[in-house]
Amino acid sequence: MFFPEGAFGPTNNCIGIGDVLRRRGHRVVFIVEESFAGRLEEQGFEERLMRLGPKPETAEAPGQFWIDFIRDTAPIFRKPTIEQLGEFMQPTWQALIDGAKYVDDRLREIIDELDPDVIVEDNVVAFPALPASGRPWVRIASCNPAEIKDPAIPPFSSGYPVADRSAWREFLAEVERTHREMWTDFDAFCRERGAPGLTWSAGGPDFIHESPWLNLFLYPVEADYAREQTLSPTWHRLDSCVRATEGSWELPEQLRAGEGGLVYLSLGSLGSADVGLMQRLVDVLATTRHRVIVSKGPLADQIRLPDTMVGEGYLPQPAILPQVDLVVTHGGNNTVTECFNAGKPMVVLPLFWDQVDNAQRVQETGFGVRLPAYAFEDAELTGAIDRLLVDQDLRARMASAAARMQAAPGTVKAADGIERVATTGDPVLG
């Protein structure tokens, strides 16, 4: 039983793993929000539907709640990350917690009905019904690994550098001020509903439990942090988790020839809801000699493309990345790890959550350039693209990482571990 967060990134992670398990003969069932109904069935999986809040009066697009939420709060993303803690991060955590509370009874119904051998979740907040069920469960942490706290890693969602700790204390003090009351309430809810309590370490609060059976995190070793504290032996790395369910994508004739590079632009299914930012990026890229493929997102009809570009509301990203030369991205963990898997350098313009951590990590490890999403100068973006496209040393480094990752697919490694938990009921220790 897979239970991903109601967004495309975590859902796609689980689809890739679930596809491997299904091909091995296992029955795979997805718990999905009603707005995603039919999407997983189209790919051959069973579905069980749930809601994270009351049903709206009008029909929803998949993930519509978060699309609206991100669009309406976009002005906050222009502020320093420490100021976002109270204005964006805390309300977002609270919305996630409210959803976990609302759906808890429904999850228990589904678990009792299916009686799964193993439950796999990819979420950032706890759902007490899972650990309270007594059944083996697996956690996938598909955010930047700063989510897994360590004294040597900058605070989650800060976007701060590893080498400069001067601002960490102030940031964590603001986390304490803005998050403590909410965390305390959710900790009590988890305990009341039969789950273990949550933890708050020196690195900040955890809103989700570590699984006693198996924990998986997504990040290439080439860009990961050095830790002071060793993770428990149930933690295992997936360098990437690229799904193989989307088929092929053929480059349109109009983009097959040209002097410049071939660039892929994506701000993810949520970031692209900021049409103003998307249009500005398109307009700046249109001044270059490069050809561009644009993932336009849920408001695709509002984004205008010139003849040097092609785009759709949704594109099969894993099929496109191997064909391009460079990626302009929001820094979502899925896109970052898929770029590493395809060996593509990045220009990262982060908006929120762990995107700022990914952007900083990509820059400080030399695999791309971080720019401010709203305050960049046109020449900064075009100059960064031009430099990265001719950096042969970087291309060699990325090709080496890609070859290593492709030789050991994360989907297979994850499926192996999940299968062991399902068949033995024992922890998978590294």
pLDDT, tens digit, for every residue of 238-290?
Answer: 988 877 756 788 888 888 887 899 999 999 877 888 889 999 999 999 999 99
pLDDT in tens, 315-357: 889 899 999 999 999 999 999 999 999 999 999 999 999 999 9
Instruction: Flag the least confident range among 38-52, 70-84, 340-354.
Output: 70-84
Tokens of 391: 């950096």
Q: Indicate the pTM of the whole model.
A: 0.93
Task: Report the pLDDT value the prediction gives residue 248, as an integer from 0 to 100.
Answer: 82
Task: Report the pLDDT value the prediction gives residue 56, as an integer from 0 to 100.
Answer: 77
Top-confidence residue, 13 or 418: 418
Give me the amino acid identity at 140: I
Virtual CA dihedral for 368, 271, 323, 253, nearest 10 degrees? -130
Question: pLDDT at residue 153 above 70?
Answer: yes
Q: What is the CATH code of the structural domain delimited by 2-242+409-424?
A: 3.40.50.2000
Residue 303 and residue 311 in contact, taking contact as beta carbons nearer than 8 Å: yes
Question: pLDDT at residue 62 above 90?
Answer: no
Q: Name the CATH code of domain 253-407 (choices 3.40.50.2000, 3.40.50.2030, 3.40.50.2300, 3.40.50.1260).
A: 3.40.50.2000
224 Cβ contact list (under 8 Å, min separation 6): 145, 237
Quick check: do 2-242+409-424 and 253-407 share a fold?
yes
Task: Report the pLDDT value the prediction gives residue 70, as an integer from 0 to 100.
Answer: 66
Report d(CA 158, CA 397) in Å as an integer.
27
| Beta-bridge mates of residue 4 | 122
pLDDT in tens, 351-401: 999 999 999 999 999 999 999 999 999 999 999 999 999 999 999 999 999
Task: Report the pLDDT value the prediction gives residue 218, as an integer from 0 to 100.
Answer: 94
Question: pLDDT at residue 187 above 80?
Answer: yes
Report d(CA 349, CA 329) in Å as an integer.
6
Q: What is the mean pLDDT of the chain?
A: 93
Distances (CA, A) of 50 to 75, 184, 327: 31, 26, 35
Q: Is the dihedral of CA 115, 18, 272, 297 positive or negative?
A: negative
pLDDT band at 116 (very low <50, low <70, confident <90, very high): very high
Question: pLDDT at residue 66 above 70?
Answer: no
Task: Report the pLDDT value the prediction gives residue 385, as an integer from 0 to 100.
Answer: 97
Question: pLDDT at residue 69 above 80?
Answer: no
Closest CA to 125 of 109, 111, 104: 104
The ranges assigned to domains in the chain are: 2-242+409-424, 253-407
Task: Report the pLDDT value the prediction gives residue 164, as an integer from 0 to 100.
Answer: 97
Question: pLDDT at residue 90 above 90?
Answer: yes
Which runs of E-coded beta strand occur in 131-176? 137-141
Question: pLDDT at residue 73 above 80?
Answer: no
pLDDT band at 65 (very low <50, low <70, confident <90, very high): low
Helix axes 8-23, 333-342, angle to 10 degrees: 50
Closest CA to 159 of 266, 247, 84, 63: 84
